[in-house]
Structure 1
Amino acid sequence: GVEREKIRVVYNGVDERFQPGDKKRAREGLGLPHNRFTVLFVGLLVPIKGLEVLLEAVHQVDDERLLCILVGDGTLRECLEKQANETGLEGQVLFAGSRSSQEIPVWMNAADLLVLPSFSEGRPNVVLEAQACGLPVLATRVGGTPELVTDGSDGLLVDSGDTRQLADGIITLMSDESYRRQLGRGGRESIQKRGLTWEASALRIKEIYQEVRCQYSRR
């Protein structure tokens, strides 16, 4: 294998479009109700994302104030729509379909919580984007997600596939606005402290190229 001292890690950055915004204005622009606790998922509607678990969690929360929005499309959409209908969630789950990348910051600013219930992940940029918007994150502790979310500090982590934990996380954040704000601030501060911008990532890559060039020029 490759020697450890030869490895350099460059993290993804976050586009500068992802900034905290006015929730009321965002909801008005998207035609969303102002009086609903809005949980947002952004990504592909495919089995690995754990969305069937999410809909079951929404069913267990059993609160008409809750609105779950799925932004994205995929092979699982028809099954999820059927699940929502069969469990009486027609008024609580909104399938928004695929949206342009330009719209995603608006959806995030309209939401109260980003949820990522995946069974597997790499290092999901959607978490970084939510944190940059000051949006609290509820995610499963899989893949690289725990590198981005510190449980109880800038988000909440639950076990993948555990419907009850996911439902309890939603209930906790739904019932405690000050805690939501605290987690949202924590995520935003985490992004700022780590300098996770595309400019910073590009500069880091440039530094690595310069380091390699210097090493070879000495030979």
Structure 2
Amino acid sequence: MKIAYVLNTYPMPSHSFIRRELRALERAGVSVLRLAMRRSPSPLVDPQDREEAAATDYVLDRGAGRLLIGLAMLALRRPGAVGRAFRLSMKAGRAAPSGRLRHLIYLAEAAEVARRCAAEGVDHIHAHFGTNSTTVAMLVQALGGPGYSFTVHGPEEFDAPAALSLGDKLDRSAFAVGISQFGRSQLFRWADFDTWRRICVVHCGIEPGAFARPQPLAPGPRRLVSIGRFAEQKGQMLLVRAMARLHPRYPDLHLVLVGDGEMRPALEAAISAHGLEKAITLTGWLDEAGVRDQLAAAHAMVLPSFAEGLPMVIMEAMAAARPVIATYIAGIPELVRPGETGWLVPAGDVQALADAVAELLETPQDRLETMGQAGRQRVLARHDVDVGAARLIAQFADAVVAEG
């Protein structure tokens, strides 16, 4: 069985879960063709990401002219299919703020993807995120190419389902995947009732071997780590404000922010304004080994997000036997158990966040270790990447049979 993964920008530092999924599929014997629209605009820190980039075909590398010529040639050979796909792209373009011209570009990309799939003998297409990558996959099917499925992560898809034509994408797909029960429920909102049976949950996964020997909690002052792209939805600014409230009482507390992004200057300014330069460290993006090192050095992981799907960094922190402080949103409560594996707080409440951190700081170390071990057992039981890959393979096989 050969599966084409259709992606927008790949690989990206924040999309390591896709890389792990692809490699788990290949370990299980599935042949995977990586087709991304564009390369990462940021330097790739992790050697594994650089390996993935070398193994990926980039559609836009062919240039706009060759893509449009390819679409025109396909229209000469299969005018009916191209006409149907064109109408579908214009329907999606009417609903989207990006407009019809952008969707004409997606149609040209789809013609190239369809050509590559035919040349490579692809049986089925899978996309990640219900955004433009799935638009391309849907148009490939309309052009007469393989059927498609896709994984929805959120929150972007849940913020603008109509603009993304999410209902059409769900109803036309062989199946769709939510990464949590919450995510699956949100897809139910936009799919026909008959489509519900084709919407399943496949958890994103970790590689247990990468966390085979978690480090014990270090003695001494407490250290927190927060990992994620520096963007408003991740809530790092709220965490800086919480640290400002905590610092007078807990001057030895240290926070490490791992990641980067458009909000970095604002975070740096806030850290300086509160006089927290010695209490908060920004590392930039780290490779997977660097992330594991930061988790090993921390006593807990904090993620004060306002909008999420089900964050990989929570899974990684729990696999490293670290308690988690997170917000009570999306799929997070399906994994983090208050009082058992960590703390959950209302999103956007800086005082509740500060109170949770203070409670963690007052918790004896042996209790934190017990919570960390409980979280480790929970995540290993629910989020093994090879188990998730096996579920996907079963779905792919059923789709290929149904598509005949």
1:18-37 superposed matches below 5 A? 18-22=211-215, 35-37=220-222
The one of 203, 206, 224 equivalent to 1:11 is 203
Q: CA deviation at 1:211?
A: 4.1
Structure 2 match to 1:58 = 243
Structure 1 match to 2:59 = none
Query: How far apart, in 1, do the equivalents of 2:311 and 2:225 lie?
Result: 15
Q: CA deviation at 1:162?
A: 0.6
CA deviations over 1:173-198 (Å, ceiling 9, x no partner): 1111233122211111102332x211
1:20/1:134 contact within 8 Å kept: no
The answer as to 2:221 corresponding to 1:39 is no
Structure 2 match to 1:179 = 367
Give TM-score, length-normalised by structure 1. Answer: 0.87
Query: How far apart, in 1, do the equivalents of 2:260 and 2:284 lie?
Result: 5
The one of 287, 302, 307 equivalent to 1:115 is 302
Higher helix share: 2
Structure 2 CA distance for partners of 1:163 and 1:186, relative to 1, 3 Å:
same
Structure 2 match to 1:167 = 354
1:23/1:111 contact within 8 Å kept: no
Letter in structure 2 aligned against 1:184: G
Q: CA deviation at 1:7?
A: 2.4
The answer as to 2:380 corresponding to 1:192 is yes
The answer as to 2:270 corresponding to 1:83 is yes
CA deviations over 1:79-112 (Å, ceiling 9, x no partner): 1111111111111001111111232111111110
**Sequence identity, in percent?**
30
Larger RCO: Structure 1 or Structure 2 (Cα < 8 Å, ≥ 6 residues apart)? 1
CA deviations over 1:45-98 (Å, ceiling 9, x no partner): 111111111011111112111000001111111111111111111110011111
SS in 1 for 2:321: coil
Structure 2 match to 1:30 = none
The answer as to 2:264 corresponding to 1:71 is no
Higher Rg:
2
Residue ranges of structure 1 left out of the alignment (5+ in a row): 28-33
The one of 313, 333, 348 equivalent to 1:126 is 313
1:38/1:112 contact within 8 Å kept: yes
Give TM-score, length-normalised by structure 2. Answer: 0.49
Q: CA deviation at 1:43?
A: 0.8
Letter in structure 2 aligned against 1:38: R
CA deviations over 1:164-217 (Å, ceiling 9, x no partner): 1111111111111233122211111102332x2111111111222344456678
Q: CA deviation at 1:116?
A: 0.3
Query: How far apart, in 1, do the equivalents of 2:267 and 2:202 lie?
Result: 36
Query: How far apart, in 1, do the equivalents of 2:335 and 2:214 lie?
Result: 22
SS in 2 for 1:39: strand
